[in-house]
Structure 1
Amino acid sequence: MGMTGPTGFPANSPAPQKRPAWVVGGATILGFVVLLYLIEVFDSLTGHQLDDNGIRPLETDGLWGVVFAPLLHANWQHLVANTGPALVLGFLMTLAGLSRFIYATAIVWIVGGLGTWLIGNLGAPRYNGVVVETNHIGASGLIFGWLTFLLVFGFFTRKVWEIVVGVIVLFVYGGILLGVLPGTLGVSWQGHLCGAVAGVIAAYVLSSPERKARELRRSRTAPPYLTS
């Protein structure tokens, strides 16, 4: 039987090294995008029946779309259009920490989805005075949430590199923020808007440790108040 060290590893063997954050983050977001493609393959083979599981606003059974909508796409063109921003913004999100990426994604996914469920019929066409039922699908709401998270997170944490990332993201992707406004028929500006708002909420919530630490430093360095 071989000798083992106090950590449980063989005494003469080095402990396994932790993988760099960028490797873990890259593998994580790449795995997510691959999942989207696998789902679209299955959806195409089954006549796009999965697409009926999107967010249908103000309908009880439409709430299931909050869970499924970001995984579904109307066609390959829709998915391809979302692929580039998802890879880039998703990867940058993971650099803030994998746990923060997961929590931020969950907040955007749920809060953005619920917001879309509430307002998704705004501006929808009417037929004989009745609003035509809308069905919101696609990862773009999630992408808009990641975008706004990256834009404002650095200003909440006051970390230079995160501010720089936000400025670069604004320069490269800032133009797509116009997608939160009503415009192209068939495009869910409501999902974009709710995802973007949820991204700001996630950035504020998840920057709490840095904001609290900053307030603590201020309280320790503030001059004492004198009364007379």
Structure 2
Amino acid sequence: MNNKEHFKFSTGVVAYPILFVLIIWIVFWAEVRFGFNFSKYGVYPQTLKGLRGIVLSPFIHGDIQHIYHNTIPLLVLSTSLFYFYRPIAWKVLVFGILLSGFFTWCIGRPSYHIGISGLIYVLVSFTFFKGVFAKHYRLIALSLLVVFLYGSMIWYAIPIEKGISWEGHLSGLITGLLFALFFRKEIAKPKKYVWEQEGYNEDNDPFLKHFDDDGNFIEQLESDESQESSTISYTFKENKK
């Protein structure tokens, strides 16, 4: 990867998640600044009018605490998504919003469901199951980190607290699992060491040439022998004088 490609990759990994979060905050700022109430544009289950919320609800939040608790994990998880799964990142984000929103529309209570939390649950579920399916130690570590940081979120996918769209959370978890299964072949493959690659011959390995069959460092032994030889030669000359 040359410097131009590396710069493009790096900026994409960070810039897109930040831009996404920034748009959500701008919408919230406009709502507060001009006294709007966008809640009516959320998902309202099983109504034709409520379908518009599938696209609009992720950008709508009830208060500062709601948007704060949603955008922090969104930034972390979406950055991880673009870093490890760049080729399918946009698919996961766009279809994650649409599918989790549609599931919420199908199973939700007759109320307005707003917020980006449905997508967050998509990313949590997708990242965890994808890391397990990949059998890649870095992705498994990422999955365990996700569980450690956001594992308690699983309880909000069941109706334990009023005012929280557990239907949206449950829809996100299901969607993330489905994506992990659907994109199972799109796995971030770990880099192979030299000795793991096809056609590797240890006899031609320049590193192993410095060691004998017993694992001793040949170059060091040769150095010691030459040093010992020079010492003997010097002593012999001294005695000869």
Bucket of the pairwise TM-score, normalised by the shorter protein: 0.7 to 0.9
Structure 1 residues 23-77: Cα deviation after superposition (integer angstroms, max 9, x where no partner): 4211110111011000111122332332210000000010010011111101222
> Which residue in 2 is equivalent to 1:218?
none
Gaps of 5+ in 2: 189-241
Which stretch shifts more, 102-111 or 136-145? 102-111
* C-alpha separation in 2, matches of 1:116 and 1:172: 25
Which residue pairs with 2:134 in the alignment? 157
Bigger radius of gyration: 2
- Aligned: 1:77 with 2:65: yes
Unpaired segments ≥5 residues, structure 1: 1-13, 122-132, 212-228
Q: Which piece of structure 1 moves more, 79-88 or 140-149?
A: 79-88
Query: Which structure has the highest helix share of the two?
Result: 2
User: For 1:183, what is the secondary structure of its paired residue?
Assistant: coil
Give the corresponding residue for 2:225.
none
Query: Mean alpha-carbon deviation: is it higher for 49-58 or for 92-101?
Result: 92-101
Give the whole-Å Cα distance in 1 for the aligned partners of 2:6 and 2:41. Answer: 39
The answer on whether the counterparts of 1:107 and 1:202 sit within 8 Å (CA) in structure 2 is: no
| Structure 2 letter corresponding to 1:143 | I
Measured against aligned partners, the alpha-carbon deviations of 1:147-169 in whole angstroms (never above 9, x if no partner) come to: 11111002222222111111111
Which of residues 66, 90, 115 is equivalent to 2:78? 90
**Distance in 1 separating the partners of 2:73 and 2:105:** 24
State the percentage of identical aligned residues: 27
Q: Secondary structure at the match of 2:18?
A: helix
Q: Secondary structure at the match of 1:95?
A: helix
Match of 1:104 in 2: 92
Q: Is the 8 A contact 1:104 1:203 kept in 2?
A: no
TM-score by length of 2: 0.72
Q: Which residue of structure 1 aligns with residue 168 of structure 2? A: 191
Q: In structure 2, how many angstroms separate the alpha carbons of the residues matched to 1:57 and 1:103?
A: 24
Residue by residue over 1:128-151, the C-alpha shift from the partner in whole angstroms, topping out at 9 and shown as x without a partner, is xxxxx4000001111111011111
Deviations 1:193-218 (A, max 9, x none): 0011111111221222459xxxxxxx
Q: Distance in 2 between matches of 1:144 and 1:193?
A: 8
How many pairs does the alignment contain? 187
Distance in 2 between residues matched to 1:32 and 1:15, nearest whole Å: 26
Range moving further from structure 2, 58-67 or 153-162:
153-162
Q: Using CA pairs below 8 Å that are at least 6 residues apart, which structure has the higher relative contact order?
A: 1
State the TM-score, normalizing by the size of structure 1.
Answer: 0.76
The separation in 1 between residues aligned to 2:87 and 2:178, in whole angstroms, is 16
Q: State the distance in 2 between where 1:209 and 1:198 align.
A: 17
The answer to whether the Cα contact below 8 Å between 1:104 and 1:206 also exists between their aligned partners in 2 is no
Q: Given the superposition, is the C-alpha separation of residues 20 and 120 from structure 1 closer, same or farther in structure 2, using an over 3 Å criterion?
A: same
Q: CA deviation at 1:17?
A: 4.4
Q: How far did 1:15 drift?
A: 7.9
Deviation string for 1:98-124 (max 9, x for gaps)?
332111112211110000001111xxx
Aligned pair in 2 of structure 1 residues 139, 19: CA closer, same or farther (>3 Å)?
A: same
